[in-house]
Amino acid sequence: MAVSIRLKMLGTKHRPCYRIVALDSRKTRDGKTLENLGQYAPLTEPAGLEIREDAVLELLNDGAVPSETVKNLLKQKGIIKVPQKNEKGEVRFVWTKRA
């Protein structure tokens, strides 16, 4: 099962609020989720962003694919994809929290 991390829409018309969720990539935007990972409120000052970083990093390193918007939100929180060499000298990318 391919897991994606994306936004699930909540709120009302002209008052959006989103949950950051992990779900099967074949499901619809507001379908049943595997796990709630945080929330994003773009209209508050400053924009409210809460993320369970340990759960997000675990899913990303297991192969979950974030949407473009979620990738930008993770970058704001300091979660980035960095190259890392293994014992054989091959480069693979891992997600990590920037210090």
Q: What does 30-98 look like in DSSP terms, one character per residue?
A: TS--SEEEEEEETTSSSPEEEE-HHHHHHHHHTT-EE-HHHHHHHHHHTEEEEEEE-TTS-EEEEEEE-
Predicted pLDDT at 75: 92
What total number of domains does the chain contain? 1
Query: How many Å apart are CA 50 and CA 62, to the nearest integer?
Result: 21
Predicted pLDDT at 72: 93
Question: Domain containing 79: what range?
Answer: 3-97
Residue 47's CATH number: 3.30.1320.10
Predicted pLDDT at 11: 87
Which residues of the chain carry a pLDDT beneath 50?
none
Predicted pLDDT at 33: 86
